[in-house]
Structure 1
């Protein structure tokens, strides 16, 4: 520390002697920054990291249409996310259908050298039978977390190594859910370098409120029935939720993302045409889809379908993923 201070004094003394006889204009802030960085080079590194983080944050927040195209205004929670207690034991224990013994710190790895990372930017998305908070809550047993757990099991049966994260990225801040899930991606992908497929699993959402019904001149019951019929169908004697793939058009690798989504949809259509919906392209979306070689955003059912209908869809989705990627 003493040596650094002596070094700073020597440098400043030399420059003080040189400055009066030089015609080069030196900005005061740049001069002071030079002195600090010369004596404490580690501060430069920290400053650059913070600057990068700030730029990344501002880029996301300054896009006014970001939230609209990422989640849709109808899908934003009505609960006060800042007051949600993530340590609430009753909430955590409500996931009776999730085999918690297989998860350590919200992570399960099914095999060595896994190829698939499955996570949820909106882990709080729930289905028709859990309407609290505009179908957003920590009712795990009726949420996309349960669907992700089942999909992990189905893919594991087919020989795939899967890393499944059940972390809530939409609590306490729903607005920063994609920034939060990006941190998870940045932490897990380097840890499991064999991963080349990332899946962000959601459910679709529609406005099923009284206000929307009034706007359309119909009833809430009719809205819910229409959405249920749109997002599910009867297949092989059971009611099954439909699924679709989403492409964020603002990604630098949008051609690759779109190619995978279209390829999966085409493959699914050849096997289960009744169950797959067309690819949805979000003009201002990113969804962190540039992070992995093959990034997939899947929406299984919607807030107009039940958890059981979404569960019934899982085996078909697993079959599509398995068949498509084994041909690549």
Structure 2
């Protein structure tokens, strides 16, 4: 009884002292709502017949009704919305598009995908000489799909579609060197770099093209896809590490998808910029004798191999 009297006295003081001031900012009904909810935040109106919470029901039925009052104590507490923000891990950034020939799929990316020979095209390119700016039928189309597949698996990827072999093919590696350095400087989290190429053979007629397609395609899960392989430049100062990585992934891929991954090719000349990143790979997907569709179909398997390898290692 004593407690009830104290509570009534306090409420009276509040009404007498505060009401004249608050009334300038709110009408009578608003102030009463404020007073009740401030004094009794736990209060609820129960539906005794259905056992439902009336407050919750009203909120669901009247979604368009605005709340009568909101509080933000201090500017630092005002909610903000970041369109790239996500509560989940390993999610592709929402606004992940190519801007200035570069796509970044996640903050703090781990992988860089680029193309030293950006003009390398496949057998069905209408240009017919297997080197052109026919992007849709080139290694860059494979790079785009590989970027997408790896990003779905949670990897942050930077993919650049800059042409490094045009207009000067002889300076391709000098050009891609600058791009790699620029990307590594800008995204210091990158520790895996992948240069996507395709193999090249002498394909002058339909017979040779067919033979090359048979040599460099495999059937995986009922689908005809282009085989792929790793190339190592023997002139790299870290050639042992580059070769060991290529052979290790090849072994892993051959076990997972028999017949899909060809043995590592070591070229006695050149460095291919493979000493720049911690894990640097040159991957050839298909050849000028395989089709764009076969090479693109291979991208998801390349992604699967790389994803599982690096996550298990």
TM-score by length of 2: 0.68
User: Any idea what SS the aligned residue of 1:175 has?
Assistant: helix
Cα distance in 1 between the residues matched to 2:96 and 2:155: 20
Alignment partner, residue 291 of structure 1:
276
Separation (CA, whole Å) in 2 of partners of 1:327 and 1:101: 27
Q: 2:254 aligns with which of 269, 277, 282?
A: 269
Q: Which residue of 1 aligns with 2:293?
A: 308
- 1:236 is the counterpart of 2:231: no
Q: Which has the larger radius of gyration?
A: 2
Map of 2:6 onto structure 1 = none
Structure 1 gaps, min length 5: 1-99, 210-219
- What's 1:161 paired with? 156
- Aligned-residue offset at 1:225: 1.4
* Distance in 2 separating the partners of 1:308 and 1:222: 19
Does the Cα contact within 8 Å between 2:115 and 2:164 map onto a contact in 1?
yes
User: Which residue of the other structure, out of 222, 231, 236, is the alignment partner of 1:251?
Assistant: 236
1-structure distance, mates of 2:253, 2:230: 11
| 1:179 and 2:198 correspond | no
Quick check: 1:221 aligned with 2:216?
A: no
CA contact (8 A) 2:196 2:285 kept: yes
Higher helix share: 1
**Correspondent of 1:104 among 75, 80, 99:** 99
Structure 2 residue 304 is matched with structure 1 residue 319: yes
CA distance in 1, matches of 2:207, 2:239: 37
Corresponding position of 1:139: 134
| CA distance, structure 2, for counterparts of residue 101 and residue 303 of structure 1 | 30
Return 5+ residue gaps in structure 2 as ranges. Answer: 1-94
Corresponding residue SS for 1:297: strand
Distance (Å, rounded) in 2 between the aligned partners of 1:285 and 1:228? 28
Corresponding residue pairs, total? 219
What is the root-mean-square deviation of aligned Cα atoms in Å? 1.3
Q: Contact between 2:220 and 2:257, CA under 8 Å: does it hold in 1?
A: no
> Which residue does 1:149 correspond to in 2?
144
